[in-house]
Structure 1
Amino acid sequence: MAQSSVSVVVFDIGNVLIEWDPVHLYAKLFPGRPEAMRWFLDTICTSAWNLEQDAGRPWAAGVGVLVERYPEWRAEIEAYDRRWHEMVPQVIAGSVAILTRLAEAGVPVYAITNFSSDKFIESAARFPFFATFKGVIVSADEALLKPHAPIFALLCSRYGVAASQCVFIDDNADNVEGARRAGMTALPFTDAPTLRQALQGLGLPA
């Protein structure tokens, strides 16, 4: 049945294996001014703008677009690039433990991540668990983004796995649905204990 066919685990990275939130940085830049901080992140350094870097736009170009448009906010805009790692304070330890357990048990583990190229390289150097993956599809390197079907198909073709073999884990509901449309089993990530239980329910040694 479907459960027994799942033998490959594919992780998202941000907010599944590492904590990422611009608020970690911008609370420092807007001390005691949460409404101003939220306005800045909703209006200037938006999620849509950040996604352009995940799609392959260089950080210098992305920052330049906003600085030209909002020169009075230059320092705060440039901080998004220069102090990016302050948005990523730590790993999500329970999830990394699951990843490690799966790999040690011989389960092939991969990742599909919306990530800019240079920040991915820096993060891989910072977090040793990145070396656990048998392969990673980085959106910016491929000019492909989740939740669209081609990025899931690329993982399958590049690493020789069938979509039906894969269970994909992501905190973003659209990405979970995109993986399902691509033929994968997909699990929404909420926390590590829930993920472990779901993977064990699929017969995986999490």
Structure 2
Amino acid sequence: MTVDAVIFDIGNVLIEWQPERYYDRAVGTARRQAMFAAVDLHAMNDRVDRGEDFTATVYATADRYPEFRAEIRRWHDDWIEMASPEIPHSVRLLRALRAKGVPVFALTNFGIGSFDHAVTHYPFLEEFDRRYISGHMQVIKPDPRIYEMVEQDCGIAPGRLLFTDDRADNITAAAARGWQVHPFDGPRGWAKVLVAKGLLSAEEAR
């Protein structure tokens, strides 16, 4: 089927997002395991991704767990170190699609403040034709509503949208709405899909 727009997730597609890896390096595996067992940091991050204030949410959580206050604050203070590095081949694919005139969108679970911070380190985040940031939308993937909001805004039929995401639940939700999907497992596989769909040549997808 024809593809009228390509939609990228960001975390673990264009930028690596591995908080546990960061904490293992920063405070040690044992301390990280104890903290994650005591505090649901990913649920805290989901609140930020739904639009709550980045700084206030992280710092309030830190204050509720004084044993881990300093470490939890790092989720905010060292955020770029957790959201790094970029995935260069994926960024090249984004730019190659745009160079061919293919509309490229972002659909990402990302907070308002954390995304604004990310843009200062990753300028390519400003290169999308449309950006769907969950913090602004106040709903996160895989809630079907976020996909519906994308469809309503862009006006493109679901079957003509091609979406990649590293999380199976997000892919399943998009597929349920009729989107073309690719479970992201690395840029090489994504590149092959873009070539197979006729959006890029093999050379352009390198």
TM-score, length basis structure 1: 0.91
Which residue of structure 2 aligns with residue 112 of structure 1? 107
Q: Aligned match of 1:93 in 84, 88, 101?
A: 88
Could you list the runs of 5+ residues in structure 1 that have no partner in the other structure? none
Write out aligned runs for 1:128-147 (5 A).
128-147=123-142
1:96-125 Cα shifts (integer Å, max 9, x gaps): 111111110110000110001011011122
Partner amino acid, structure 2, of 1:113? T
Partner of 2:171: 176
1:24 and 1:86 in contact (8 A); partners too: no
Q: Deviations over 1:76-96 (max 9, x none)?
A: 111111111111222101111
User: Does the CA-based 8 Å contact 1:170-1:176 persist in structure 2?
Assistant: yes
Amino acid at match of 1:19: E
Aligned-partner residue type, residue 4 of structure 2: S
Indicate the SS of the match to 2:119: helix
8 Å contact from structure 2 (residues 4, 156) kept in 1: no
Secondary structure at the aligned position of 2:6 is classed as strand
TM-fit CA distance, 1:145: 0.7
Write the deviation string for residues 9-42 of structure 1: whole angstroms up to 9, x where unpaired. 0000010001111134312431xx3132123134
For the pair 1:165 / 2:160, whether they are aligned, the reply is: yes
Instruction: Please give the alpha-carbon distance, in whole angstroms, between the structure 1 residues aligned to 2:161 and 2:149.
Output: 13
Is the contact between residue 59 and residue 72 of structure 2 (CA under 8 Å) also seen in structure 1? Answer: no
1:49 aligned onto 2:44: yes
Distance 1:160 1:125 in 2: 30
Aligned partner of 2:11 among 7, 11, 14: 14
**Structure 2: 5+ residue stretches without partners:** none
Counterpart of 2:68 in structure 1 is 73
Q: SS state of the match for residue 110, structure 1? A: strand
Are the structure 2 counterparts of residues 197 and 41 from structure 1 closer, same or farther at C-alpha, using a change threshold of 3 Å? same
Aligned pair count reads: 201
Query: In structure 2, how many angstroms separate the alpha carbons of the residues matched to 1:91 and 1:115?
Result: 16
Separation of aligned partners in 2, 1:42 and 1:61: 22
CA–CA distance in structure 1, aligned partners of residues 62 and 95 of structure 2: 42
Worse-superposed segment, 21-30 or 7-16: 21-30
Secondary structure of the equivalent of 2:107?
Answer: strand
Within the alignment, does 1:29 sit opposite 2:26 as a pair? yes
1:181, CA displacement in angstroms? Answer: 1.1
Task: Determine the C-alpha separation between the residues in 1 that align with 2:92 and 2:149.
Answer: 27
CA–CA separation in structure 1 for the residues paired with 2:196 and 2:34: 42
Q: Which amino acid aligns with 1:132?
A: E
Between 1:14-23 and 1:45-54, the stretch displaced more is 45-54
TM-score for both structures, normalised by structure 2: 0.91
For 1:186, what is the secondary structure of its paired residue? strand
Cα distance in 1, alignment partners of residues 10 and 183 from structure 2: 13
The DSSP-based 3-state class of the residue aligned with 1:136 is: strand
SS at match of 1:9: strand
User: What SS does the corresponding residue of 2:139 show, helix, strand or coil?
Assistant: coil
